[in-house]
Amino acid sequence: MTTHKLKVAIIIGSTRPGRNSEAVGMWIYEIAKKRSDAEFELVDILDYNLPLLDEPIPPSMGQYSKEHTKRWAEKIDSCDAFVFVTPEYNHGISGALKNAIDFLFKEWNNKVAGFVSFGSAGGVRAVEQLRLVMAEVKVATVRAQVYLSLFTDFENFSKFKPSPFHENTANTMLNEVIEWGEALKTVRTKQG
């Protein structure tokens, strides 16, 4: 029996022009690529050009009618685990990220997520909200979290310059994502 490496998507959770999410996403991706215990892929929701949820049938039914939804569903379904890179907008996650999550249901189920967040308060309130959303789509979340401050990890609030200690926290979070991802893979196999 061959085992395949866990496939972890690092999801860039903002589509705003001039966003910081892309630089943060690339940073965590570069850290992840140094590891040999999983495969990592950068997934930018901007590339999927999702409109406001436009499927006529609830996602829990899995009857997608739009090509953009089918393409997004195929990507998420192919992943075993996720790392969400999320800004904090008005004490919450971006509308674009919430919309992208809402398009699907079963493709998220019985997987795990970790978080890299940023904002004036490190993005922790966005992650609190995101944890609730993840629970509803049956995604387990890990405790370890990378939170970055606009005041100390960004020059002029725009050029990403993370403090070096964040790399240790990032690896702790990735360790947990991989451990939980392997465990939940067995759950999906049993249901398969």
Number of compact structural domains in the chain: 1
Give the residue among 49, 48, 53, 126 at the shortest CA–CA distance from 85.
126
Give domain status of residue 162, yes or no: yes
- Domain coverage including residue 54: 7-191
pLDDT, tens digit, 9 for 90 and up, residues 39-94: 999 999 999 999 999 999 999 999 999 999 999 999 999 999 999 999 999 999 99
pLDDT band at 6 (very low <50, low <70, confident <90, very high): very high
Does residue 31 fall inside a structural domain?
A: yes
The vertex-29 CA angle with 24 and 34, nearest 5°, equals: 135
| Residue 52 included in any domain | yes
Question: Is residue 83 one of the residues assigned to a domain?
Answer: yes
Q: What pLDDT digit, counting tens, does each position of 103-126 carry?
A: 999 999 999 999 999 999 999 999
In a domain, 172, yes or no: yes
Any idea what the CATH number is for the domain that residue 105 is in?
3.40.50.360
53 found inside a domain: yes
User: Taking the model in full, what pTM does it have?
Assistant: 0.96
Q: Is residue 85 part of a domain?
A: yes
Instruction: Give the Cα separation of 4 and 22 in Å (integer).
Output: 28
- For the record, the structure tokens of 55 come out as 């499927």
* Angle, vertex CA 63, rays to CA 62 and CA 65, nearest 5: 135
Which pLDDT score, from 0 to 100, does residue 127 have? 98
Contact indicator for 84, 13 with CB cutoff of 8 Å: yes
